[in-house]
Amino acid sequence: MTQGLGHREVIDPSKIRYSPTIRLFDPNGRVFFYDGRVYRGVYPHRVEFVKRLFAEHVVQPFAGRKLLIGTYLTEKRLDGFGLILEHDQVEVVTRPKEWSFVTYIEAAKSYLKLFRELHIRGLALIDGHCNNFSLAPGGRVVWHDFGSIIEARKDSLSGLGEFLTEFYYPLRFYRRIGYFPIMRRMGLHCGKDDYYRLTSHRLFSLVHLAHQNQDRYWAKGIRKAYSLFSNRYLASAGTTEFARFIMSKLRGEAFEYRHVRRFIDSLYREICDIPIRFNLTQWGDYHQTSNLNQTLGKPRGKRQTRIFEALKDIKPSRVLDLGANQGVFSHLASQVSPCVISSDLDETAVAKHAYTMLSMNKDSHIYPVLFNAIQMSDDVINRYRSHTVMALALTHHLRLSQRFPFGFIAKMLSRVTEKVLLTEFMPNGLGGLRKHPDPLPDDYTLESFLLAFQPYFRSVEVIDYDIGASNSPRTLVICRKREA
């Protein structure tokens, strides 16, 4: 148990849980969880440095500008540490591979702004990788690794070197090729050698094909050959540009302390000049980005109005919108829920949503993320499981396009649902006012659909409402979980 010592609370070490993702050589301290909150224990020899960050108004102003996670001094005590800080909790835990390229560009700009402001104050970041960012309200990102802030020295600028590999080269590749998913398949890690290899059109096409078929024997051979023999391409193509760039950027001014600010400004201009290019989505252009931000959050038509009314009755503490496209229903849900996760498997749809969120410049607690609902791992399910799940206009695609049986779809949706599932049955299948395919499979009926969900939910209720003769017919179904 904790016990009082004057006005300072002593934390029982048996009641805490250390973060499993800490850096082993964190110079400032360790992150731990206690009583449902996030803390950082500061090592005794780093207390004076950390207190100086607060005294010189580094911490709170940076947090106010959304550059750094909210961090506060506490009166708590824990053996082994000279000071205990408390951090704001991250509302939704995401992985960088689940971000669109729009969010990734935003993270790169945020890092450079933070590093520049720290450098002005004689400070630096020891890290420069994307895993130290978390999604924040309004489509923004925030640096959450307070422990990576150190005093700046000529030999303490490793964060910038890591930034080049984790952000600069992947985004430079995107600017040149216009295709970002292969960076995600490579773990969002692209060194200078990989960049110059992949900008060969033929080599890029071959590696792209291998990554798409990574489980096949021949694909493994391609990836192995890429690693072993692509140096030959690097030696014969792009060598002049490569040498000129490395000499000017890295060996010359990049890691010389007196030129850091100029180098950061140069990188920032390059990142800001990257054009945002949206390809066609696989869902079709249901919503136009040009006027989408003017109508978000306002129900239009009978379908949106009925779903909005259902959400108001449910009062969800958190919503996961699967197959959200550009987030129309996610923004409706945000009117009645404090937190909404807006997910889709389409890169362009998620990127358009993230772009719209940033252009609105509001602290909406909606988080656009990218993953395949039918391939959710245990990690994804644990992080995104929500009170209410919306799977609207999705199940017919899973059943007819991807040919998953209703039973499998019901089980998958139940795993990520805590209390309530809102879904729809499309009687005409993939068609609008006419059936497609025609004929539909024999088991593609409302009765079969409802029966598939009954083993996983306490109640499966059909909500009848007039959708209008000019709209695709659909049946709204509300499934409620059995009480624990």
Mean pLDDT of the chain: 84
**pLDDT band at residue 207 under the 50/70/90 scheme:** low
Q: What is the dihedral of CA 317, 321, 327, 331, to 10 degrees?
A: -20
Domain 291-480 of CATH type 3.30.930.20: no
The residue with tokens 């030129």 is 259
Q: What is the dihedral of CA 352, 379, 92, 370, to 10 degrees?
A: 0
Query: Does the pLDDT of residue 140 top 90, yes or no?
Result: yes
Query: Does the pLDDT of residue 236 top 60, yes or no?
Result: no
CA 45 – CA 49 distance, rounded (Å) = 8
**Which of 181, 183, 209 minimizes the C-alpha distance to 347?**
181
The predicted pLDDT at position 195 comes to: 72
What residues have CB less than 8 Å from 28, skipping those under 6 apart?
A: 40, 42, 43, 46, 49, 50, 146, 147, 149, 150
pLDDT, tens digit (0-9, with 9 covering 90-100), for 286-308? 544 444 555 677 888 899 999 99
Selection from 217-231, 260-274, 381-395, 422-436 with the highest mean pLDDT: 381-395
CB 171 within 8 A of CB 269: no
The answer to which of 23-27, 53-57, 291-295, 434-438 has the lowest mean pLDDT is 291-295
Query: Does the pLDDT of residue 1 top 70, yes or no?
Result: no
